[in-house]
Structure 1
Amino acid sequence: MTQTVFCRKYQQELEALPFPPLPGEKGQEIQRSVSRKAWEEWQAQQTRLINEKHLNMLDPKTREYLMDQMERFLDNRESDQAEGYVPPAQ
């Protein structure tokens, strides 16, 4: 049976992540409050930001920036977008 979680992004019960996506308390917090759908959307957004902005993942400031953007994205606050990205037609 699939576990569910009340997703902070979508404000509804959705499928939970099967394991914490990050190490430590932060990963456990995300697993308790973010759905699989929201996390997969964040991963796609993060990939676009890294690619379009040519971010260096070895730079601690880059990782801090992405953590901030992740929180903004998951809380439905304004977050940076990859310039020129056009979402696929649905």
Structure 2
Amino acid sequence: MTRTVFCRKYQKELEALPFPPMPGKRGEELFENISKQAWEEWQSQQTMLINEKHLSLMDPNNRKYLQAQMERFFNNEPFDKAEGYVPPEK
């Protein structure tokens, strides 16, 4: 049986992540409160931000920026998006 969590982003029970997405307390918090769907959507947004803004994950300021944007994304607050991105038509 698939584990579910009450997803903070979508405010409903959804399929959970199979394991914490990062080490430590922060990873455990995400594991308990963020759905697999929300995490996958964030990963897409994060990749676009890294590419668009030429962020280096070696830079602590860039990591702090991404953490802040991730929090905004999961809290349904306005967050930075890649400028000029047009999603493909279905």
TM-score band w.r.t. shorter chain: over 0.9
Which runs of 4 or more aligned residues in structure 1 lie more than 4 Å from their structure 2 counterparts after TM superposition?
Answer: none
Q: Deviation digits for residues 14-65 of structure 1, max 9, x if unmatched?
A: 0000100011000000000000000000000000000011011110000000
The equivalent of 2:37 in structure 1 is: 37
Using structure 1 for the length normalisation, give the TM-score: 0.97
Using structure 2 for the length normalisation, give the TM-score: 0.97
One-letter amino acid of the counterpart of residue 22, structure 2: L
RMSD: 0.7
- Unaligned ranges ≥5, structure 1: none
By how many angstroms is 1:68 displaced? 0.3
By how many angstroms is 1:89 displaced? 2.5
One-letter amino acid of the counterpart of residue 27, structure 1: G
Identity across aligned pairs (percent)?
A: 66
Distance 2:31 2:57 in 1: 23
Please list, as runs of the form range in 1=range in 2, the aligned pairs for 1:18-33 lying within 5 A after superposition.
Answer: 18-33=18-33
Distance 1:46 1:55 in 2: 10
Distance 2:33 2:87 in 1: 26
By how many angstroms is 1:86 displaced? 1.1
- Unaligned ranges ≥5, structure 2: none
Secondary structure at the aligned position of 1:40 is classed as helix
- The alignment of Structure 1 onto Structure 2 pairs a total of residues equal to 90
The equivalent of 2:12 in structure 1 is: 12
Distance 1:71 1:87 in 2: 23
By how many angstroms is 1:88 displaced? 2.4
